[in-house]
Structure 1
Amino acid sequence: MPLAHPWRDPDDDRPRLECGVFGVFSVEQASAVTALGLHALQHRGQEACGIASFDGQRFHYEKHMGHVGDAFAGADLVDRLPGASAIGHTRYSTAGGSFIRNVQPMFADLEAGGIALAHNGNLTNFLTLRERLVSEGAIFQSTSDSEVILHLIARSRKARVVDRFIDALAQIEGGYALVALTNKKLIGVRDPLGIRPLVLGELDGKPVLASETCALDMIGARFVRDIEHGEMVVCSDKGIQSMRPFPAAQARPCVFEYVYFARPDSVVNGRSVYQVRKRMGRRLFEEKPTPADVVVPVPDSGVPAALGYAQASGLAFEMGIIRNHYVGRTFIQPTQGVRELGVRMKHSPNRAVLEGKRVVLIDDSIVRGTTSLKIVRMVREAGATEVHLRSASPPIMYPDFYGIDMPDRDKLLAARHSLEEMASFLEVDSLGFLSVEGLYWAMDAGQRDAERPQFTDHYFTGDYPTRLLDREIAEGRNDLVERQLSFLVSA
């Protein structure tokens, strides 16, 4: 949603990406292949998942709350979701939007045939479009901005489905990657700035679309190329057609994919995520060194940066914190006292590594600081004599409106406090962040040009790459905010 969700888990300090998308065309056992692809994209959305398939005659689809492995593990999957083409979706949502009717792919029967749609990102004019469509008589079944796109496609007066799709795209704004399945085509679209990622692969000569290359690796597909910013690809029995439905624009991919969201084994926009994160750690040491005995990552996303920091500094790299991968959401615990122990459910101190040591603690980012504080206290309780916290990204100063669930600005630690105040709040001996220039260096992109930044980096700089229409209206019309919250609560 364009505005921050008010039901965000108070004990969860990580930013969350809304979803991952996947699609295959004309392959055997398409739904099973799609389930494997979604499994590789599970990190992009862990609350719900869905698959839609087409068997040449009709569409089939299933949506489930929970993980891909639980929802689509049955031996009868191909019988339940038959067909040679399929698309899938993994979804993250906050508590207020966690409903089965919001789970994707979404499906609609149009005059020209059925269409299933899966969407990664956010439309920054979603509320404006939704209000207009409702005033014109549209009936919505969900609170998802993806449904707006389906309504726009359905209302287009163009004859061909592809042209209807382009007609709808001309009306939406924001950051997004879309995959859609029609009776005869698999369609992929990346927003005009390429904020959200989408790649094209090939499996036995047949096209595959996915949010990340790790999903191609999972199914044994060959990476072909990134879908370019502002590009639409249409896959059919005639081959793959590339279209450019948007005016030319400079690419601005999301830099936070490299900081946190993408899997380290993925290649995003031609860059190895793992190598970029190691370079972030190397540059972090150059910018923020400190006398210490051991470098400890906050697992898992802090590991590559900690390796880079350790190698550059010559300090020992140790797994001083062990992550438990079999933990559900901590906010379901019945009392605040029990919830306070939630960090220990996810992370356990390795006393043999920490006791008596000056520790450099490396994390990928710091949002509100609540989780960081608990981890620092845990490390101290395990016997660390000093704790020096380092963030492998710059201070997060501004919220996101392109698909990342991130708190409003007044809840972001770096937006409200000086470096000294943050260090005091986090109870660390020292605190350091990678600079914006250092981040661009780690991306092998040189210095950030203020007039022509190469990436979407507004969380650090406040430089939003598109207009925020819903936000602009909401700031002047509190009734719009109230309506947004009311229909989300009632969903």
Structure 2
Amino acid sequence: MLSADDERGRATADGGRVTEWFVTPAPILGAHPDMCGIVGAVSNEPVAQLIYDSLGLLQHRGQDSTGIATAEGSVFHLARAKGQVREAYRTRDMRKLLGTMGIGHVRYATAGKASAEEESQPFYVNAPYGIMLVHNGNLTNVRELRGDLFDVDRRHMNTQSDTELLLNVLATELQAVISGTHLDTDQIFTAVERLHERVEGSYAVIAMIAGYGLLAFRDPNGIRPLVLGRRESTLTGADWVVASESLVPEASGYDVVGDIAPGEAVFITLGGEMIRKQCHPAPRLIPCSFEYVYLARPDSTMNGISVYDARLRLGDSLAATIARYSPMDDIDVVMPIPDSARPSAMQVARRLGLEYREGFYKNRYVGRTFIMPGQAARKKSVRQKLNAMPGEFRGKSVLIVDDSIVRGTTSREIVEMARQAGARRVTFASAAPPVRFPHVYGINMPSRAELIAHGRTIPEANDVLGADHLVYQEVEDMKNAILAGQSTVTDLEMSCFDGRYVAGRVDEEYLRWVEETTVS
């Protein structure tokens, strides 16, 4: 079981499906600094403000750079910049973003160079017709694609971004199926079908085709999310928005139509007509578990599962594990690490009959430490982001609940802060299981040597963490908690917890290549 007192902690809780090569850490040359938020809209009104506001709602998904593109007829307008949304765009930028169709992106880079502004999205290609594209996810066959695009398709790549690869695959396949001078939806959907045959990994995509409309599609496993919203218009047709999370259409006054299905493509014409088609012969819905654990906002619903309710259930199951393996007679109070751990911590306190207190004050003007490139930046930002209030800690045995423990940098600093604030004893609990393996589908955890739980038992991880006691959620408990109460989703992408990669050819050679080519 996954407690710090259990010497069987080296085993994963997945029934032994992980192969032997995961055991020994590989040398690391750097950190793979694309967790992203994306949005697209077609309206009867100018969309620049809607895209800007939507990106602000998705800021938690990326703070490295941002970009907005709009279409005024067949003319594209583009503004891209490093940094957060509210700081990136000036009035002159917004004034030039004319048009009633647009896309936007917030980026935290996991592929390519985190500091390179030229890798900010959207990406553009001028043929066929002109396409602008944004993408959330990571492709796992980038080496093969890069070779094919150059040797066979004669296309030049100007960056290391897999989004540029994805755009050029789409453009190549669209060019190949066009007959005549007019583009129709059958040709668009055929191009997406052919793209699915070539591309491996995770991808939620929104693209504008100049003079025609907005295209959105999702990988055949549905790893990364994409939600469709609709609003009745007083003019011709309806207004549409597509985004990474349901909070975007909801906050903007749109009705949530539902999730774009795995392998499905949706095309929205400039006149507001929506056409959708399944473009993969064998789609399956296996969404990323980390969306529910940490990445998504709690007020979002993805694949029919409320993120907030899932986190409450994670707290319920974590409480049962804590009760089994922790010294319950010596815990005075339960405290969350704000904000994403709060629902789970509240349920832990409720289930265990313990007092719930807010011992850490969060500075909301510092970015999420998990999505800051580089260990040094993460460590420095912890104490700028959180402050422990001594009155809540002094002389108490505290149970601190966090959503997850990845590298351990933040958690170790938090344990130390609790002790400095006067805590007599610190028990640390994670609402997620141990992160033992790299995540290659768009979450920033590709390097095994950086993961505190990789190659360590739970007691060994706790030695690094410095708590008196460490408790993790178990893998099956996490899965059951997220999936409870519905039947649409029956499996989750949990590779960072169980080492099972559901998309692409992810083997030891691939993981070593990823680790050796990452950037800090």
- TM-score in terms of structure 1 length: 0.88
- 2:497 equivalent in structure 1: 460
CA 1:131–1:24 in 2, change beyond 3 Å: closer, same or farther?
Answer: same
TM-aligned CA deviation for residue 329 of structure 1: 8.9
In 2, Cα distance between the equivalents of 1:227 and 1:337?
38
Residues 340, 115 of structure 1: alpha-carbon distance in 2 compared, 3 angstrom cutoff: closer
Map of 1:177 onto structure 2: 204
Q: 1:83 to 1:408 in 2, by over 3 A?
A: same
Structure 1 residues 42-81: aligned runs within 5 Å: 42-72=59-89, 74=91, 76=92, 78-81=94-97
User: How far apart are the structure 1 equivalents of 2:376 and 2:171?
Assistant: 50
Alignment of 1:211-360 (within 5 A): 211-236=244-269, 237=271, 239-289=273-323, 290-291=328-329, 292-327=331-366, 342-360=381-399
SS at match of 1:98: coil
Q: What is the Cα deviation at residue 78 of structure 1?
A: 4.8
- State whether residues 121 and 196 of structure 1, in contact with CA within 8 Å, keep that contact through their aligned partners in structure 2: yes
Contact preservation (8 Å) 1:19, 1:44 = yes
CA distance in 1, matches of 2:137, 2:376: 35
Whole-angstrom distance in 1 between the partners of 2:313 and 2:380: 34
The match for 1:196 among 187, 210, 224 is 224
Q: Distance in 2 between matches of 1:424 and 1:48?
A: 36
- Tell me how far apart the structure 2 counterparts of residues 123 and 338 of structure 1 sit (CA, whole Å): 27
- The two structures, once aligned, show a CA RMSD in angstroms of 2.9
| CA distance in 1: counterparts of 2:347 and 2:303, whole angstroms | 21
Gaps of 5+ in 1: 10-15
Return the letter of the residue paired with 1:206. D
**For the Cα contact (< 8 Å) 1:116–1:180, is it kept in 2?**
yes
Q: 1: CA distance between counterparts of 2:299 and 2:353?
A: 25
Unaligned runs of 5+ in 2: 1-25, 233-237
Change (3 A) 1:274 1:340: closer
Residues 300-359 of structure 1 show CA distances to partners (whole Å, capped at 9, x for unaligned) of 21111111111111211111111112236989xxxx999865421111101111111110
Alignment-derived partner of residue 12 in structure 1: none
Q: Is the 8 A contact 1:130 1:148 kept in 2?
A: yes
Counterpart of 2:415 (choices 347, 355, 376) is 376
CA distance in 2, matches of 1:467, 1:417: 27
Q: How many residues align?
A: 467
Q: Distance in 2 between matches of 1:467 and 1:379?
A: 42
Per the alignment, residue 154 of structure 1 pairs with 171
Between the aligned partners of 1:220 and 1:481, the Cα distance in structure 2 is 43
CA positional deviation for 1:151: 1.8
Task: Identify if the C-alpha distance between structure 1 residues 338 and 436 changes in structure 2 by more than 3 Å, giving closer, same or farther.
Answer: closer
Shift of 1:446: 8.4
Q: 1:239 to 1:446 in 2, by over 3 A?
A: closer
Partner of 1:210: 243
Contact 1:440–1:447, Cα closer than 8 Å, also in 2 = no
**Between the two proteins, what is the percent identity of the paired residues?**
38
1: CA distance, partners of 2:459 / 2:497: 18
Corresponding residue SS for 1:192: coil
Distance in 1, Cα, partners of 2:27 & 2:504 = 17
The residue identity in structure 1 corresponding to 2:353 is: G
Residue in 2 that maps onto 1:13:
none
Q: Closer, same or farther in 2 for the Cα pair 1:166/1:203, shift >3 Å?
A: same
* SS of alignment partner, residue 62 of structure 1: strand
Per-residue deviation at 1:61? 0.9
Distance 1:194 1:5 in 2: 30
Q: Verify the 8 A CA contact 2:379 2:410 in the aligned structure 1.
A: no
Residue 134 of structure 2 is matched in structure 1 by: 118
- 1:8 is matched with 31
Q: 3-state DSSP class of the match of 2:198?
A: coil
CA distance in 2, matches of 1:141, 1:221: 37
**Deviation, structure 1 residue 238:** 6.3
Give the CA deviation at 1:97: 2.8
Q: How far off is 1:440 after superposition?
A: 2.3
What is the alpha-carbon distance in structure 1 between the residues aligned to residue 44 and residue 430 of structure 2?
43
Distance in 2 (CA, whole Å) between partners of 1:468 and 1:387 is 42
Q: Which protein has greater RCO, CA pairs closer than 8 Å, 6+ apart? A: 2
1:99 is aligned to 2:116: yes
Structure 1 CA distance for aligned equivalents of residues 218 and 376 of structure 2:
45
The CA deviation at 1:362 is 0.3
- Asked if structure 2 preserves the Cα contact closer than 8 Å seen for 1:192 and 1:229, the reply is yes
Alpha-carbon distance in structure 2 between the residues aligned to 1:328 and 1:284? 27
Q: Given the superposition, is the C-alpha separation of residues 233 and 79 from structure 1 closer, same or farther in structure 2, using an over 3 Å criterion?
A: same
Q: After superposition, what is the alpha-carbon deviation per residue over 1:149-194, rounded to whole angstroms, capped at 9, x for unaligned?
A: 2222333311046133443332101111000111211111011010
TM-score calculated relative to the size of structure 2: 0.83
SS, match of residue 69 in structure 1: helix
Output one character per residue of 1:107-150: Cα deviation in whole Å (capped at 9) or x when no partner: 11113x11110000011101221123233442211111111122
